Amino acid sequence: MAELTAKRRLVTTLAILVLVLTAGLYAAAQQMDESKRDRTVPVSGGKYHVLPATLETTQWGWLDPKEPPKLVVNSGDTVAVETMMHSHNKIQPGTTMEEIVALRKANPGGGPHSLTGPIYVNGAEPGDVMEIRILKITPKAFGVNFNLPGKEFPTIGALASEMPDGFLRYFYLDWDKRQAEFKPGIVVDLQPFPGTLAVGIDPKDPSPRKGGATDPMAPVSTLRPWKNGSNMDINELQEGSRIYIPIFLKGGLVWTGDSHCRQGNGEVNLTALECAYREIVMQLIVRKDIKLDWPRVETSTHWIMLGFDEDLNRAMVNAVREAVDFLASQKMVALTRYEAYALVSMVGDCRVTQVVDVRKGVHCMIPKSVFVKQS
């Protein structure tokens, strides 16, 4: 029996070693090929910029409105942004659960996320809206999923009290097949989207500030989603989608990171299939003809309204109110708020976005197909 157990341990160790070496070699190959990136992205107007992820161009866990811009662009320009893995790229194949726990504790109050930016957009002013069109996403070589040990983090994760130990697994991301093998017999299709996409902070955000500061312009943690976007974790924000975020600070100040390659609604164990991007290509457009209080997402098939609150019930109320207000104000077919409320109840698909970011999220999806052309 002891010999059989030793063999099993050896097989497990070799499997982990193969995964680590494969991901490492693949990542190195990707890095060497950076100069050969495919730039064939359909973009109309504006200039094309590239923003790499370095320790100088990324922030770990905080949105600081006083952080100097890493890139200055004009409205309509397109930017290819590289992103890092969490904790300034310190989570890599082979990083242990003990090390991940230590990293979580190393930045008190801050999020684990590495965010590339900010990008300053000329002409963006408070009260405007930043339209961000996601044109292309290309992930790097590996992904990871983990839950923190519930015995140390009893409130992080939907079943934290039932999961006293941490769980950690790394994945090779086969971008040719757009798949990752969870384990033999289970394959996950890759559907990348930015978990965090933000503009500069809202000075009225009730989130605590870094170090307990009372200055409304002090850094805000990347943990909580809010009116400026941030850690929204909305999995519909994939290639071809666009998001509209109200602007609170001059220049807009756009960040992205917390890159995901697949996530179920709820993100229940704390993490998605966390990854990093060789590039996420975005077109940034300042909209002065739109006024919003909360972000809104648009895909080819749906309008999506978002709601956030520490209480999931209030997050649902906020998302439903946004959906009703949107339908009551659209110009395609006139609707009263009562009619809009009824329509949301009949066709709106309100989903729990996530329950693990302190401030919980709900998004209500309104299908565009219900609006038909009049004969």
Half-sphere exposure of 322 (CA within 13 A, CB side): 26
Confidence of residue 373 (pLDDT cuts 50, 70, 90): confident
Give the mean pLDDT of 37-51: 69
Q: Are residues 254 and 344 in the same domain?
A: no
Within this chain, do residues 84 and 218 fall inside the same structural domain, yes or no?
yes
Tell me the C-alpha distance between 304 and 297, whole Å.
Answer: 5
Mean predicted confidence (pLDDT) in 218-237? 98
Per-residue model confidence (pLDDT) at position 21: 45
CA torsion sign for 113, 114, 117, 118 is: positive
Q: How far apart are CA 113 and CA 251, in angstroms?
A: 22
On whether residue 232 sits in a domain, the answer given is yes
Residues 282, 308 within the same domain = no
Same domain, 142 and 199: yes
Residue 154 is assigned to a structural domain of this protein? yes
Average pLDDT for 350-355: 98
* Partners of residue 266 on adjacent β-strands: 354
Give the residue from 222, 194, 202 showing the smallest Cα distance to 282. 194
Looking at the structure, tell me whether residues 247 and 145 fall in a common domain.
yes
pLDDT band at residue 42 under the 50/70/90 scheme: very low
| Position 26 confidence tier, pLDDT thresholds 50, 70, 90 | very low
Give tens-digit pLDDT for 301-323. Answer: 999 999 999 999 999 999 999 99
Q: Would you report the helix, strand and coil content of the chain in percent, each value rounded to 5?
A: 25, 35, 45
Q: Please indicate, yes or no, whether residues 305 and 283 belong to a single structural domain of this protein.
A: no
For 165-212, the pLDDT digits (tens) are 999 999 999 999 999 999 999 999 999 999 999 999 999 999 999 999
Least confident of 1-10, 57-66, 109-118, 336-345: 1-10
| Residue 283 and residue 327 in one domain | no
Provide the pLDDT for residue 35: 38
Q: Which of 287, 315, 349 is at the close of a domain?
A: 287
Rounded distance between C-alpha atoms, residue 62 and residue 87, angstroms: 11
pLDDT at site 375: 53
Residues 71 and 135 in one domain: yes
pLDDT given at position 44: 61
In a domain, residue 141? The reply is: yes
E-strand stretches of 44-113: 48-51, 58-60, 62-63, 71-74, 78-81
Q: Are 281 and 350 contained in the same domain?
A: no
The greatest distance separating any two alpha carbons of the chain, rounded to the nearest whole angstrom, comes to 78
pLDDT score recorded for residue 27: 44
Q: Are residues 238 and 345 in the same domain?
A: no
Neighbour count for residue 67 (Cβ, 10 Å): 16
Structural domain including 318 reads: 301-370
pLDDT for 54 beyond 70? yes
pLDDT tens for residues 232-252?
999 999 999 999 999 999 999
Q: Is residue 94, in this structure, part of any structural domain at all?
A: yes
Is 293 a member of any domain?
no
Q: What is the pLDDT, as a whole number, of residue 164?
A: 97
Q: Which residues are paired to 171 by β-bridges?
A: 143
Instruction: Assess if residue 262 is contained within a domain.
Output: yes
Q: Measured between alpha carbons, how far is 125 from 290 in angstroms, rounded to an integer?
A: 12
Residue 292 is assigned to a structural domain of this protein: no
243-298 pLDDT tens trace? 999 999 999 999 999 999 999 999 999 999 999 999 999 999 999 999 999 999 99
Domain boundary among 287, 313, 348: 287
H or E stretch covering 244: strand 242-246
Nearest to 365 by CA among 304, 319, 324, 315: 304
- The reported pLDDT for the residue numbered 267 is 98
Mean pLDDT of the chain: 91
pLDDT of residue 74: 98
Q: What is the CATH number of the domain that holds 334?
A: 3.10.28.20
Q: Are residues 272 and 357 in the same domain?
A: no
- Statement: residue 1 has pLDDT above 50: no
In a domain, 294, yes or no: no
pLDDT attached to residue 120: 98
What is the arithmetic mean of pLDDT over 62-71?
A: 98
Domain count along the chain? 2
**Could you give the CA distance from residue 316 to residue 364 in angstroms, rounded to a whole number?**
9
Q: How confident is the model over 114-122, as a mean pLDDT?
A: 98
pLDDT of amino acid 374: 61
Residue 39 has pLDDT above 70, yes or no: no
Return the structure tokens found at 200.
């500069």
From 287, 315, 339, the end of a domain falls on 287
* CATH number of residue 237's parent domain: 2.60.120.580
Same domain, 205 and 324: no
Identify the DSSP state of 238: -
Percent of the chain with pLDDT strictly greater than 70: 88
Q: Which residue has the higher pLDDT, 26 or 9?
A: 9
pTM to 2 decimal places: 0.89
Other beta carbons within 10 Å of 374 = 6
Tell me, what's the pLDDT at 238? 98
- How much is the pLDDT for 65? 98
